[in-house]
Amino acid sequence: MNSIIFFTFSFIRLTKLFELEKVIKLLKQKRLNSRKLRPLGETMFGWRGRIGLIVPSSNTTMEMEFHSMLPEGVSLHVSRMPLKNVTEEELLKMTSYAIEAAKLLSDAGVEIIAFGCTSGSFIGGKDFERELEMKIEDEVNIETFTTSTAVLEALSVLDIQTVLVVTPYIEEINQREKEFLEANGFDVLDIKGLNIQDNLEIGKLEPYVAYRLAKATFTGDADGIFISCTNFRTFEIIEKLERDLGVPVVTSNQATLWMALREIDVRDPLPLGKLLREY
């Protein structure tokens, strides 16, 4: 009798195990089939567009800020140029590596290339940024723009004629930036910097530093504020600063992301101030 009961229980267990295996196999097959039937766009990174970004080797901010705000379906692909200190000599030397960095990005099939360094694209004076863009485009045949180009366009779109500028830069770089903006038709009421040369140190600054510096520099005479440097963290404070001061705010990374997205025809509104909410 006991042997019959044991055999019966064993048979039931084997039957259940066999049925369980069938269920697992069926679920796996369904999952496999669903993958096969899913449209390519839902499985491929960058199905709405691929952005190529060139940054200084010591930049620890721009890439991260972009990733924090990229719309669904947009991918970011990054290449680097050597830079440790934000000085005129090192910036000019860094730009000589831009073409090689762009060639690497072209291998990823990017649709737009952003040269992500503000000072590196204005350091040569008026039209230096355009010359840099054309050199890259001629080599890789991919549309290219610089952060300085994006900033000029953002200031124009927002009707900021008189601007207050805050930066982490040393005074020499601040003066180059002031000259660049004025040569492009903007009135720089004031420019204040933190006198930091080491780019890694700039990347360590908390967002509140940019907020407090901008607020301390602001006067009611300015149409808006520009916070310069792609390694200066700002995304968390743009909306707050615009609310508190009542004027539009442009930052290097915000303007660059805005232009990159518009160039690939992605127009999702993002919580990065008036520029990305309305334009």
Distant-in-sequence, close-in-space partners of 103: CB < 8 Å, separation ≥ 6: 139, 140
Q: Cα 17 to chain center, whole Å?
A: 52
Q: What is the pLDDT of residue 44?
A: 78
Q: What is the pLDDT of residue 25?
A: 61
Q: Cα dist. 101→90, 195, 268 in Å?
A: 17, 29, 28
Two tokens, residue 187 = 């009135």
The widest CA-to-CA distance across the chain, in whole angstroms, is: 102
Position 35 pLDDT exceeds 60:
no
Give, in words, the CATH class of 42-278: alpha beta
For the chain, domain boundaries: 42-278
pLDDT band, very low/low/confident/very high, at 22 (cuts 50, 70, 90)? low
Three-class SS of 190-216? EEECCCCCEHHHHHCCCHHHHHHHHHH
Distant-in-sequence, close-in-space partners of 202: CB < 8 Å, separation ≥ 6: 61, 86, 168, 194, 196, 229, 231, 232
Position 23 pLDDT exceeds 80:
no
Mean pLDDT is lowest, of 10-14, 198-202, 219-223, 234-238, for 10-14
Position 19 pLDDT exceeds 70:
no
240-258: average pLDDT: 99
pLDDT digits (tens, 9 = 90+) for 182-211: 999 999 999 999 999 999 999 999 999 999
Q: What is the pLDDT of residue 43?
A: 57
Q: What is the pLDDT of residue 223?
A: 98
pLDDT band, very low/low/confident/very high, at 26 (cuts 50, 70, 90)? low
pLDDT digits (tens, 9 = 90+) for 48-83: 999 999 999 999 999 999 999 999 999 999 999 999
pTM: 0.85
Q: What is the pLDDT of residue 85?
A: 99
Which residue would you say has higher pLDDT here, 93 or 18?
93
Share of the chain above pLDDT 90, in %: 83
Two tokens, residue 32 = 């496999």
pLDDT digits (tens, 9 = 90+) for 83-104: 999 999 999 999 999 999 999 9
